[in-house]
Chain A
Amino acid sequence: MKRYILASALVVVGVTGCGQREEADVMRQSEAVVAEAKKDAESQPPAKPAPAVSMAEEFAEIYQNAEAAARQARELKYSWTSTAPLLEAASKAAEAGDYEKAMQLATEALLEAETAIGQAEIQATAWKQAVVQ
């Protein structure tokens, strides 16, 4: 019995000892990998920053979209009288260099034109509900 207990103890010590040794190996290996990765990163040139989109370019895109939507609303014969003045005001603000105001006005024009297009689509059938019976 005493020999059995001693052998078991030796096995447990041996196993945990092995586990501890493996853990130490893994840690040493991890440290090596990290050190190598650091060396690689330091040897790479620094990443270039993403190009900034100018406010002028951002405005131009919104304005183009607003103009296209306004044109579509007009083709549908559903244009609003308030949209063209917004586009004109947006254009003038951009010419004056006030791009923040220009973008706000162009966005408003875009929303109006899109709503007018939606109105045309809805009214294509909705009008029938209003007919006097």
Chain B
Amino acid sequence: MKRVSLLVSGLMLLVSGPLLADPESDRLAFVNYFEERFPDVELEAYVNGVYALDEASYEQWLQIEEFPPYELAVEDGEELFNTPFANGKSYADCFDNGGIGIRQNYPYFDADRGEVVTLEYAINLCREANGEEPLGYKKGAIASISAYMAYTSRGNRFEMTIPDDPRALAAYNNGKQYFYSKRGQLNFSCADCHVNNAGMHIRADKLSPSLGHPTHFPVYRSKWGELGTLHRRFDGCNKQVRAEPLPAQGEDYRDLEYFLTYMSNGMETNGPGARK
């Protein structure tokens, strides 16, 4: 009887493994996958995205970084960050350490709010708490402010912990499910491109690996000709597989960012970035 119970329990674990695996086991498996897939790429290099996989592109990108296209946006962001609200307070009053060097603390699960809070979400929460209108979440002022805050945090490591709160784990698992679920008329998941086909060509471009993805956002994309946030990229990716995008900074996208950032836990933040 005992043997049967053990066998049944073992089989159940085998079948339900992907759902019950804890975040840290997921992260280790994720890192291991990319280390095996690209044995010549150092773990720390993944913060450079596709440029970690392609030497020629990497050299071009280094040249671009000598005169970074996001520089003006960072300056704009610093000015906006330091401009007081109508009530006399400023962003510095909303964030730890006056908002300097804290990018790596986001996203986190806010137990009081019962939801994931990303940096851009926190910027608008700050604005609303001080009687200001919220900013659009994909580009413009919010991207510039986020870029400035990311710039002051460069080199700091993400040290996320998912609290012992079923709501936090539910948010993580919601993000995980979103990442691996196929969607849109083209029936692609995030994983299809950025895990299974990382390093492969899609038309003229190479697909970037998901490991290290959130570290360099917000990002100046040549295609956009300006700075954009991570959720703007989610929006674009969804449209590219012909899935209607969900709201930027809505629950699902914040949970997706939560999952993605945990997968890159321990890596350095290096935003804002420049990408093709």
> A-side interface residues toward B, CB under 8 Å?
74, 77-82, 84, 112, 119, 123, 126-133
Contacts and interface: CB of A to CB of B under 8 A. Distances in A.
Contact of A131 (B180, B187, B246): B180
B148 to A, nearest CB: 33
Nearest to A112: B185
Contacts of B21: 131
A133 B244 contact: no
A82 B246 contact: no
B239 A78 contact: no
5 contacts: A77-B246, A77-B252, A79-B244, A123-B181, A123-B182
A128 B183 contact: no
B18 A74 contact: no
A127 B189 CA distance: 9
B183 A123 contact: yes
A119 B21 CA distance: 25
A129 B183 CA distance: 15
B191 interface: yes
Residue among A81, A82, A126, A132 having the largest count of chain B Cβ atoms under 10 Å? A132
B242 A81 contact: yes
A37 B183 CA distance: 66
A97 B17 CA distance: 56
B184 A81 contact: yes
B30 interface: yes
B250 to A, nearest CB: 10
Given A79-B243, A81-B242, A132 B183 contact: no
A84 B26 CA distance: 37
A81 B185 contact: yes
Interface string B131-143: 0000000000000
B38 interface: no
Contacts of B30: 132
Nearest to A123: B181
Given A123-B182, A128-B19, A131-B180, A81 B244 contact: yes
Nearest to B28: A132
A131 B33 CA distance: 11
Given A131-B18, A131-B176, A80 B185 contact: yes
A94 to B, nearest CB: 24
B239 A128 contact: no
Interface in B161-205: 176-177, 180-185, 187, 189, 191, 195
Contacts of A132: 26, 29-30, 33, 191, 195
Nearest to A73: B244
Contact of A126 (B19, B29, B182): B182
Nearest to B29: A132
B18 A133 contact: yes
B133 to A, nearest CB: 27
A119 B183 contact: yes
Given A119-B187, A132-B29, A133-B17, A80 B243 contact: yes
Contacts of B187: 119
Contacts of B242: 80-82
Nearest to B179: A127
Contacts of B243: 78-81
A81 B187 CA distance: 12
Contacts of B184: 80-81
Contacts of B185: 80-82, 112
Nearest to B210: A132
A123 B195 CA distance: 18
Nearest to B240: A81
Which of B17, B19, B29, B244 has the most chain A CB atoms closer than 10 A to its own CB?
Answer: B244
Interface string B231-243: 0000000010011
B252 A81 contact: no
Contacts of A123: 181-183
